[in-house]
Amino acid sequence: MVDISVIIPTHNRAAMLRSILSRLDAQRDGTPAFEVLVVADGCEDDTSTMLSSLRTRVPLRTLSLPGVGPALARNAGAQVASGRLLIFLDDDIEPGENFVRAHVVEHQRHPGGVVMGPYPPLPHIAKDRFRLSARAWWTRHFERVSRPGHQFAFTDVLTGNLSLDAELFHAMGGLDPQFARAREDFEFGLRLIKKGVPIRFAPEALGYHLEHQTTTLTGKMVRRYQEGRSDALMARKHPDIQRLLAIHRFTGRKGWKRRLQRTIATRAGSVLDPLVKAGPRVLQMLEKAGLRRLYEKVERQCNGYHYLRGAAEVLGEDWRLPPDPTGSTDEIDVLEINLDQGIEAAEAMLAERRPLAARIVIGTVHVCDMGHRIGAEPWDARHFRPWLNRQAIHKYLPVALAEWRGQPFNVTPHLSDFTLNTLNNPSFHVHMIEQHLQWMQAKLRSALYDNTSKS
């Protein structure tokens, strides 16, 4: 019996899984005792043979399922896990040597919540547009959520590198099996937020995502189909957030273009599906020909078609969603915080009340508002100082830059999220600097190899 269980659902990735297990077996000295539970879900490769012959210092257990999808695989693993703390890890993420300990330390500091760790793309050489865009998305995502005081939304919650108490996971009912192959983490995150469970980020619980070995253009199209299906289910189960989902743009009695798209997705699949399957090959030819704009247009159309096909599986020809039950923002209770009482008092009020929105004043002067975000966690004490810092940066730094450049005060230079993240979050930025250095080294090695081969 151990207090920590690392649960890894896997499907036909024996070689990658072996590497991940070796990384877990080599965790830094001082790491608390933990077990690894591999859920082999419909594996048809040599995963079973590899696991049965593998010898590890860390206790290793396996569970076999007939291909039920990652949501049910995680639920099944959680049911048989021994640990009071569950750490979910995807089978294409290589954990760092401090991975387990960082999760444990964050839970010791702040018990009772959910902890997420980063898994940016493993540094590698990539030249195709699909790979570069995937790398950029993952990198931007973790740069954003790593910002101190980040207010988590349900779309930030990913189960690829996530930990929580087993008691909390079971009390939440685990992952919803409706969302078997997509959005199961978003839906779980939304339920966590509605229950008021705090979500925290542990930058030291680092893993590297081997997305360049596991994601393809064809796989992305299949994924978009599953996302369309899951978004339709999400809109039905949680109508209060349906306006945040892409599916919301296509429902109801909107313009002729939307109706045509719905009709095509619902009725023309038998004709169009074979043609759209050629999309990845067409995109590769367009990229080779250097037709960037046409590439982007074709990619959007293919992704959109697969998304709507998935939604049509759930919505049928009706394409109607339940009405949004949320009232107007005027009905939300707004907490008034007077900074005359001091920042510590303001943080204490936020920690006690956990408001959806707050109005910040100094005496009788209104300063700014902490607005309500649908699908995001309530405001808390840990959000306040970073939020104030960003307000100051947004409001005063552009003016100072404009003055320094000799521009009029009403000209506001653009400050990107990356710039603000660099100013506010040196901890995770250290990881990103290391990542970019490794990319540069990989490109240099490739260039030297090419030159040696030619000579």
User: For 101-123, what is each residue's pLDDT tens digit?
Assistant: 999 999 999 999 999 999 999 88
Task: Answer yes or no: is 320 within a domain.
Answer: no
309's CB contacts (< 8 A; 6+ apart) are 225, 228, 265, 269, 273
pLDDT tens digits, one per residue of 345-395: 999 999 999 999 999 998 888 888 999 999 999 999 999 998 888 787 666
Average pLDDT over residues 269-297: 89
Same domain, 361 and 417: yes
Average pLDDT over residues 65-89: 96
Residue 261 in contact with residue 250, Cβ under 8 Å? Answer: yes
Same domain, 271 and 388: no
Instruction: Report the side by side order of strands in the sheet with 161-165.
Output: 60-65, 35-41, 4-10, 85-89, 161-165, 114-116, 199-201
For residue 271, what pLDDT is reported? 78
Task: Answer yes or no: is 180 within a domain.
Answer: yes
Question: Could you give the number of structural domains in the chain?
Answer: 3
Q: For tokens 């005359």, name the residue.
A: 340
Same domain, 80 and 192: yes
C-alpha pair distances (Å), 100 with each of 26, 79, 83, 91, 374: 11, 20, 13, 15, 32
Q: pLDDT at residue 333 above 90?
A: no
pTM of the shown model: 0.87
What is the β-pairing status of strands 93-95 and 207-209?
antiparallel
At 48, the amino acid letter reads S
HSE toward the beta carbon, residue 285, CA cutoff 13 A: 6
For residue 117, what pLDDT is reported? 96
Long-range contacts of 311-316 (CB under 8 A, 24+ apart): 311/228, 311/229, 311/231, 311/232, 311/247, 311/250, 311/265, 312/228, 312/262, 312/265, 312/266, 312/269, 313/228, 313/229, 313/232, 314/229, 314/232, 314/233, 314/236, 315/232, 315/251, 316/266
For residue 415, what pLDDT is reported? 44
Task: Answer yes or no: is 82 within a domain.
Answer: yes
Same domain, 294 and 346: no
User: Quick count: other Cβ atoms within 10 Å of Cβ 433?
Assistant: 12
What is the β-pairing status of strands 161-165 and 85-89?
antiparallel
Range of the domain at 183: 4-213
Least confident span in 15-24, 85-94, 101-110, 286-295: 286-295
Task: Answer yes or no: is 231 within a domain.
Answer: yes
Which tokens is 200 given? 């925290």
For residue 20, what pLDDT is reported? 97
pLDDT tens digits, one per residue of 125-155: 777 888 888 888 998 899 999 988 999 999 9
Task: Answer yes or no: is 344 within a domain.
Answer: yes
Indicate the pLDDT class of residue 272, thresholds 50, 70 and 90.
confident
Which tokens is 448 given? 């030297």
Average pLDDT, the chain: 87
Task: Answer yes or no: is 324 within a domain.
Answer: no
Task: Answer yes or no: is 117 within a domain.
Answer: yes
Least confident span in 82-86, 320-324, 437-441: 437-441
Q: pLDDT at residue 409 above 60?
A: no
At 226, the amino acid letter reads Q
Q: How big is the chain, counted in residues?
A: 455
Same domain, 143 and 68: yes
